[in-house]
Chain A
């Protein structure tokens, strides 16, 4: 029912408002209609008068002005009714277009009159219209000019003169040019007596006052006050009563002011308070303050005195006299505590105190004073003082106010103090059960503790950690932040050596956050470390037992770490014996650890390694190898890599002691263990293992290690190193298939191709032997291919490989030689000539073949080729020389012989030349060839031979015979 009534009332109010609005709009519309009619009529009249009567034109201008004002009013209402957000984006000019057009029209007409009828008696009116018009359009500069002209052109006693002067006076008044305003006001006020006289006189009085003509100002104000009692005039009494006091004050006539107010039955204290506020608003703080002091002096009533103090608060507040404001606030707060303030006064005081506290706090927190620490500090102290008063004024909110003190101190970077306030507010709110303030206080404390000053100065922070964190955990144990606080508090306890409290906190944490293994482990580690340092194994073992019992939950990793700790503890004793040089005890100790049931695998591996090392130092190779092998087996690969140098040293020592098999095995184990790891020693061990096995004649062992190559990603270089050696040994022991496999492995790297020509040739010979021609062809192809490829790539080709290739070409030269020699010279002459030619052609072909061999660079091949060429030339030359045609006369024969000498001599000479060439080649290139003798000295029966002085001893790789 109440709601319905409310709605009805609302609807009624809306209807009334609407009705008023409609009424207003209708009236305006009616007025505009009339103005339109008037304009129509004036236009008709003007036309009748041929637009030559300035009176009519003036009327037209006036009507346009009047119409413009109505439109402006309506447009203004419409404009203001637009939503403010939208209003900012709309075109204001568009909204005021009609009125602006009309104003301009009025203006145009008035200007035409002014320009055309210079002596028109109503020119003052015209200028007055123009002035008003420009005033409406906001063009005050022009308005003033026209008011001046209106005043000048109108008769002295005309209303227009008075009104224009008033308008001008108002301009001067508003611009505080009072001395210029005064004569204009005086002129107009002496000639008018309309309703607004009081208002204009009031302005004149103020002008007098501003020019320090106080007596005139007071006298005129009294007149205004008097006339305002008459309904004919605008009532300015409230303004006069408000302001005359100021005049009296400045005229130093306070007693008269009191009399004035008492005569009117007004409370002068109240008036003085108003005046004080008023002059304060003019920035005249000192006078306002003085006035209040005076008022306080005159006033005996305690309640009114309180009012004065409250006014002082307003004043000091307005002019930021904080110290004074604070002092008065303190005084009033004491009065409050003595119950001397009424409810309203209390309310104002509380408002002031709270406002000031907040303002100052805001100022402290702002960046404004960040570079002026002193000012900020002062403001912080003041704010804190205000919050203190606020707490006194509202004891129920003390916790909150103290909290604000903390906030203020924080903002002023007084972090220590802020923590103290926060702790206090925490305690107060805890008593009240105000969890919000508790929470905020704790947040404040933590924020303060997080500041650099404490981060850098742990000592300073130390005293706050425990109380702050303890309070925090009272409010929150479960959050992620709480977990962090637990850790911090745990550390704080440790720092303070409060182990018992730390252990209790750890147990509390394990209870609250049982699933957070990591933190529990960290705490446990710290506690156990503490006890380890204290050598309190019992305590450690008790924790291990507690962990095992599930009291503390730890991750498997942590469990292993714990075991490492145990290992460490186990090893530590033996290590100390070793450090003391007591190797026997150490050996015993390590054996004990290795065989101990409690020993961790890590400890066992460690012990095995140390045993190997110890035995190595003691020169006991077998034992060293044995424990080394165990250590490699039981140690992590990582550790094996870590200790690889030591392991390889032991292996090298075994080699030096001719224990090739052990050395090779230790290397083999190492490769196996580190096969998948990227260890620099892995390749070395691989190579050493194979070479040591080969040296030991253990070709199978060598192949076993070799087979690891692809799995363990042995480099090609190492593989080539060991591969060529393996091929040699495999060929020797006729394990051709294995050799072929190794060759095949090496063939994959083209860099090996040149080196493989010889092994391939060896294989080819084997296959030639067994008649596997297909294989032979394949091998020949590969040999040629590798030779050509290597030659093209300008790679080093082993001499024996080059020889092999060159010697392969010799049979073709030999065949040519045999072909030449197979042709026997005979007559008749033509046949003879033809056969010589045929032989000569074949000789040419043979020479080409020799040149091809020369290009191989093979000494052996070249010498062999030259030998066949030399023999072919010599034999052919001799055959021609020795040929005698049968059945021919001597003369013919002599002639024939003589003629043939021209043929065979060059051939023989060429053979001789070739022999000299090859000799030079042999000597220069130090070619050692079985054909050397034949080409150097021919078929001399005394062929030179090398006969050693002593018999030669052949040795194998191991140095064995």
Chain B
């Protein structure tokens, strides 16, 4: 029997509000183009203050690289402003040494994320330090901090931090007028609620976890993916009929953008747990028959396109414009990718960058304007690259998930076969049991039993419960 790992996925995103500064000052500082580092500083501060964040990105990165010392207070504020508009993506690939020159909360957040990814958890925590709860990035940083604590097994502290994140998100959301930022904060809030549930799950307090998950409304952006985690939780609660009920919700047309091979893996696993071997086997076989060839196509596709990120951006763009893609799975995955929050952020930044570009073109002709236009083009190009890279990364990850899922499915099938065989070795078998009976369903106070009549209703999604009797002896 293989072991199923629960991966606590984190999707931490950051979106900052635009800032305004003096373009004229910037242009005058730029002069003839041969400027000093101090001149750079002046231009950047002015540009950012005048709302030309995307045009400032290349020069800001250049300044950070060239400036050997720490940033001064004014420059730190300017950088924070810039990050709030562009997001952290353009700076994420800067070396740690460079990033360390800034004491900006946003830069520390970037650094913490980088260290977290490198599993250098204590260092990551060190970057986050004592967060300033009034800082706009606080909800995101506290989310990251809670996650790191949870990974480190400090569940109690993690729970406190998650709850702080929930509160901070709500507070920050109420203080902002940007819809995008509101949405980001709502999503951050929901993830932190999920983090509380996940934290309980990690300490095997499944009942508490179950209740915590229910605090995420069905209207939440993250609910479709959280439903899968709920299914797992039910599974660990041995409430297999409920697991199956939650998983069946993914069959609803409204979830057609969801592509998660683990849904089928969990379904097969649940059937197996209930000793419904034929159902388990059927699930495995269906999985193989429906996804094996597409997965091979995906592999071939990825290998053939390599790291041509502009191509990947192009297919995302084509898909957005309703153009058909070369095979169904690719279509589904790109659709799913387009639902991803990170994509939305990058897409949003890209759009805003284009708006800024338009604004720059409307300025009087000058060398400085030309340089700004070139800078924005570079930034736009980078965003497209990030989108392409994100799409490819998603496809690669999905392929990896599929690869693992195929193995998981094989393991499940083998387990099913082993158990069937074991029964034959023991000679007697279970016969004459009826399937589907309400008495086998476990409920808690927040759940109601819904009869499933073959149709999916939005308000019923996630509440379906199977009534299968376990055939285990």
Report A's interface with B, CB cutoff 8 A: 27, 30-31, 34-35, 37-38, 41-42, 44-45, 48-49, 59
A629 → B minimal CB distance (Å): 123
Bound: A732/B420 CA distance, A: 144
Most-contacted residue by chain A among B403, B414, B420 (CB, 10 A): B414
Q: Which residues of A contact B406 (CB under 8 A)?
A: 45, 48
User: Quick one: which of B288, B407, B411, B417 contacts A34, CB cutoff 8 A?
Assistant: B417
Contact between chains at B420 and A42 (CB < 8 Å): no
Bound: A279/B424 CA distance, A: 43
Q: Which residues of A contact B427 (CB under 8 A)?
A: 27
Contact between chains at B420 and A59 (CB < 8 Å): no
Closest 7 CB pairs of A and B: A45-B410, A38-B417, A34-B421, A41-B413, A31-B424, A34-B417, A48-B406
* Mask: chain B, 400-421; 1 = CB below 8 Å from A; 0 = not: 0001001100110110011011
Bound: A31/B425 CA distance, A: 8
User: Quick one: which of A31, A38, A48 contacts B414, CB cutoff 8 A?
Assistant: A38
Most-contacted residue by chain B among A30, A41, A42, A45 (CB, 10 A): A41
**18 interchain pairs, CB-CB under 8 A:** A27-B427, A30-B424, A31-B421, A31-B425, A34-B424, A35-B421, A37-B417, A38-B414, A41-B410, A41-B417, A42-B410, A44-B288, A44-B410, A45-B406, A45-B407, A45-B410, A48-B406, A59-B414
Contact between chains at B413 and A49 (CB < 8 Å): no
Contact between chains at A42 and B414 (CB < 8 Å): yes
Q: Which residues of B contact A49 (CB under 8 A)?
A: 407
Q: Which residues of B contact A27 (CB under 8 A)?
A: 424, 427
B292 → A minimal CB distance (Å): 9
Q: Which residues of B contact A44 (CB under 8 A)?
A: 288, 410
User: Quick one: which of A30, A34, A35, A48 contacts B410, CB cutoff 8 A?
Assistant: A48
Q: Which residues of B contact A38 (CB under 8 A)?
A: 414, 417-418, 421
Q: Which residues of A contact B407 (CB under 8 A)?
A: 45, 48-49
Bound: A41/B427 CA distance, A: 24
Nearest-neighbor residue (CB-CB) of A46 within chain B: B410
Report B's interface with A, CB cutoff 8 A: 288, 403, 406-407, 410-411, 413-414, 417-418, 420-421, 424-425, 427
Nearest-neighbor residue (CB-CB) of B410 within chain A: A45
Most-contacted residue by chain A among B417, B424, B427 (CB, 10 A): B417
Q: Which residues of A contact B421 (CB under 8 A)?
A: 31, 34-35, 38
B200 → A minimal CB distance (Å): 33
Bound: A38/B403 CA distance, A: 19
Q: Which residues of A contact B403 (CB under 8 A)?
A: 48
Bound: A198/B410 CA distance, A: 39
Q: Which residues of B contact A42 (CB under 8 A)?
A: 410, 414
Bound: A48/B405 CA distance, A: 11
Bound: A41/B412 CA distance, A: 10
Q: Which residues of B contact A59 (CB under 8 A)?
A: 414
Bound: A736/B403 CA distance, A: 150
Q: Which residues of A contact B288 (CB under 8 A)?
A: 44
B147 → A minimal CB distance (Å): 32
Question: Looking at chain B's contact residues, is the secondary structure mostly helix, strand, loop, or mixed?
Answer: helix
Bound: A48/B284 CA distance, A: 15
Nearest-neighbor residue (CB-CB) of B425 within chain A: A31
Interchain Cβ contacts within 8 Å, total number: 36
B342 → A minimal CB distance (Å): 30
Q: Which residues of B contact A34 (CB under 8 A)?
A: 417, 420-421, 424
Nearest-neighbor residue (CB-CB) of A43 within chain B: B410
Q: Which residues of B contact A48 (CB under 8 A)?
A: 403, 406-407, 410
Q: Which residues of A contact B425 (CB under 8 A)?
A: 31
Q: Which residues of B contact A37 (CB under 8 A)?
A: 413, 417
B96 → A minimal CB distance (Å): 35
- Additional 14 contacts, C-beta under 8 A, given A34-B417, A34-B421, A38-B418: A27-B424, A30-B424, A31-B424, A31-B425, A34-B420, A37-B417, A41-B413, A42-B410, A45-B406, A45-B407, A45-B411, A45-B414, A48-B407, A48-B410
A35 → B minimal CB distance (Å): 7
Q: Which residues of A contact B410 (CB under 8 A)?
A: 41-42, 44-45, 48
Q: Which residues of A contact B418 (CB under 8 A)?
A: 38
Nearest-neighbor residue (CB-CB) of B284 within chain A: A41
A957 → B minimal CB distance (Å): 136
Nearest-neighbor residue (CB-CB) of A45 within chain B: B410
Bound: A35/B414 CA distance, A: 9
Q: Which residues of B contact A35 (CB under 8 A)?
A: 421
B295 → A minimal CB distance (Å): 10
Nearest-neighbor residue (CB-CB) of B419 within chain A: A34
Q: Which residues of B contact A41 (CB under 8 A)?
A: 410, 413-414, 417
Bound: A446/B424 CA distance, A: 75
Bound: A401/B410 CA distance, A: 80
Bound: A214/B252 CA distance, A: 76
B406 → A minimal CB distance (Å): 5
B2 → A minimal CB distance (Å): 10
A601 → B minimal CB distance (Å): 111
Q: Which residues of A contact B424 (CB under 8 A)?
A: 27, 30-31, 34
Bound: A34/B425 CA distance, A: 12
Most-contacted residue by chain A among B406, B418, B424, B427 (CB, 10 A): B424
B122 → A minimal CB distance (Å): 31
Bound: A550/B462 CA distance, A: 136
Bound: A59/B2 CA distance, A: 13
Bound: A42/B410 CA distance, A: 7
A68 → B minimal CB distance (Å): 15
B261 → A minimal CB distance (Å): 13
Nearest-neighbor residue (CB-CB) of A24 within chain B: B427
Bound: A27/B425 CA distance, A: 8
B16 → A minimal CB distance (Å): 44
Q: Which residues of B contact A31 (CB under 8 A)?
A: 421, 424-425
Bound: A186/B425 CA distance, A: 31
Bound: A463/B420 CA distance, A: 91
Bound: A45/B409 CA distance, A: 9
Bound: A512/B437 CA distance, A: 108
A74 → B minimal CB distance (Å): 15
B209 → A minimal CB distance (Å): 32
Q: Which residues of A contact B414 (CB under 8 A)?
A: 38, 41-42, 45, 59
Bound: A48/B420 CA distance, A: 24
Bound: A626/B4 CA distance, A: 152
Q: Which residues of B contact A45 (CB under 8 A)?
A: 406-407, 410-411, 414
Bound: A201/B427 CA distance, A: 30
Bound: A45/B406 CA distance, A: 8
A911 → B minimal CB distance (Å): 152
Bound: A194/B415 CA distance, A: 24
Bound: A37/B421 CA distance, A: 11
Nearest-neighbor residue (CB-CB) of B281 within chain A: A37
A50 → B minimal CB distance (Å): 11
B421 → A minimal CB distance (Å): 5
Nearest-neighbor residue (CB-CB) of B413 within chain A: A41
Bound: A205/B407 CA distance, A: 48
Bound: A30/B423 CA distance, A: 11
Bound: A38/B414 CA distance, A: 6
Bound: A38/B406 CA distance, A: 15
B79 → A minimal CB distance (Å): 48
Q: Which residues of A contact B417 (CB under 8 A)?
A: 34, 37-38, 41
Bound: A35/B417 CA distance, A: 8
A276 → B minimal CB distance (Å): 43
A34 → B minimal CB distance (Å): 5
B404 → A minimal CB distance (Å): 10
Bound: A535/B411 CA distance, A: 126
A533 → B minimal CB distance (Å): 102
Bound: A35/B420 CA distance, A: 10
Nearest-neighbor residue (CB-CB) of A30 within chain B: B424
Bound: A30/B425 CA distance, A: 10
Bound: A34/B411 CA distance, A: 14
A23 → B minimal CB distance (Å): 8
Bound: A48/B414 CA distance, A: 15
Q: Which residues of A contact B413 (CB under 8 A)?
A: 37, 41
Bound: A48/B402 CA distance, A: 11
Bound: A41/B411 CA distance, A: 9
